[in-house]
Structure 1
């Protein structure tokens, strides 16, 4: 566990740890964060297990806000430690601060479950099975979700109220799913088939499902909590005009509950992704729906 004695901070700032796994990672960690060496045997739940360990450690006792971020946080978000602290200070009073380092995905997929299908075979099918077995709404994989609910990274800074609700929510879902899943689905979910391209060192499906439970938590067990999505100017500036227009169009459709506008978004989105990835890719991954089939989160 880290040394939290002198971080050059005044008052009661958020207590933010930065996870690293190699000696050279430490050299790129932000000095505003508390270094946290996480070497050792890893479980398939990765950061989530670390969150649970931190939550019962003395290192977060008395902290009004705390979180643990990847050593690649600045690389992925464009925010350094000072900017993150400034953003949180400028928007006080929320239970959890989060962000999505891939805003280019927010306007081109129905939701983060559908986006996961492009990286992990059978992801939507197995995620639905997990949600149903966990007693959570399986239809979450079918809805069109607004961008303010899009988050696929474990970049959270939260209050004790957030952590005391979120961690049991996720752990409870895992336990119920393991108890109720069929033997075949359980074996598949805990297999490395999720990482058939070996991009994530042979991870199972579970960490990718867990990180997508956060928006569902905010809509269900965490609905009483206040979440603030942090803006990320650098990734936003890297989006092209179609990605921005598609996100705006989808957000308007979700806000107005307009099936007609959502169907228009589906058509525009499909044309854009066919141009980007080709017809074969689009036929494999894109979900075509009629206005009567539109569901909103």
Structure 2
């Protein structure tokens, strides 16, 4: 009997259409807790047992193809070729691996205070995760955005034992200091709190800490990675960092000097990113990026 794969795409309004015809529409007419973004839907899918109806289940935003540059049919074919793993995923920002040691280094530069908020959240939820001890995230574990498809086992272990306790805590204690902190607005292409960026980064964190879970990452060659750079500054960083980072990944050893250099490069990337897109439309939204304090003045 062949295994079944379902990738759901949320439908928020009657006039919305699927961006990937191969995906399954998931109508969210009420769209409760929109500030949670896909996190709320993943939790509902787990609680409703939606993941039990298929061998592999995922939830991809309507911006999947825009961000990943891969069609829904191409990704589904990739999953079909890897039905012996627990999770298949694609990272729409492969270039970030060349100037960020892991998702939290990039996250802290892009969203200052993210690491502290994330650690407080996982502590409050009773999870045994130390953000500061997160290992290297190379192309085999790196995934920005929730573009993953998981087996029933993966849903039980990752969503059930990691994401669900976070949701339970936030729902039970919305006035808790930690809960309020993760709902604080951060800088992004769209107004959003810390929470969805923490959740996105927990995927790479979890799979890198659980090697017993088999995984398959959609692979990019060097030419393709460079094409994912969204401006000339990113291309310069990629060209300068590529050889030494690839060598470190191949050897499995990142010397402190290289990690420090990546941290510096990440800081420069962040500065350029927000300066540049403060006056230029971001390719994923068509809108400039606003700092949280600027939104209050808009």
TM-score range, shorter chain: 0.7 to 0.9
State the match for 2:181 in structure 1. Answer: 188
State the match for 2:66 in structure 1. Answer: 75
State the match for 2:213 in structure 1. Answer: 225
Question: What is the aligned counterpart of 2:115 among 120, 124, 142?
Answer: 124
For residues 136-151 of structure 1, what are the structure 2 equivalents within 5 Å? Answer: 136-140=128-132, 143-151=135-143
- CA spacing shift, 1:130–1:141, aligned 2, 3 Å: farther
The one-character-per-residue Cα deviations of 1:68-116 (angstroms, maximum 9, x if unpaired) are 2111111111111221121112233111111111112111112212212
State the match for 1:206 in structure 2. Answer: 195
- CA spacing shift, 1:54–1:236, aligned 2, 3 Å: farther
Normalised TM-score (structure 2):
0.72
- 2: distance between equivalents of 1:272 and 1:123? 15
Q: How many residues are treated as equivalent by the alignment?
A: 264
RMSD: 3.6
State the match for 1:215 in structure 2. Answer: 204
Question: What is the aligned counterpart of 2:23 among 33, 43, 52?
Answer: 33
The answer to whether 1:263 aligns with 2:263 is no
The one-character-per-residue Cα deviations of 1:50-78 (angstroms, maximum 9, x if unpaired) are 12322354755441111121111111111
**Alpha-carbon contact 2:51-2:152 (below 8 Å) kept:** no
The one-character-per-residue Cα deviations of 1:128-173 (angstroms, maximum 9, x if unpaired) are 3334444433343675433322212111111111111111222224
- 2: distance between equivalents of 1:178 and 1:223? 31
- 2: distance between equivalents of 1:180 and 1:107? 38
- 2: distance between equivalents of 1:51 and 1:153? 13
Bigger Rg, structure 1 or 2: 1
State the match for 2:278 in structure 1. Answer: none
For residues 6-25 of structure 1, what are the structure 2 equivalents within 5 Å? Answer: 12-25=3-16
Normalised TM-score (structure 1):
0.73
- 2: distance between equivalents of 1:58 and 1:136? 25
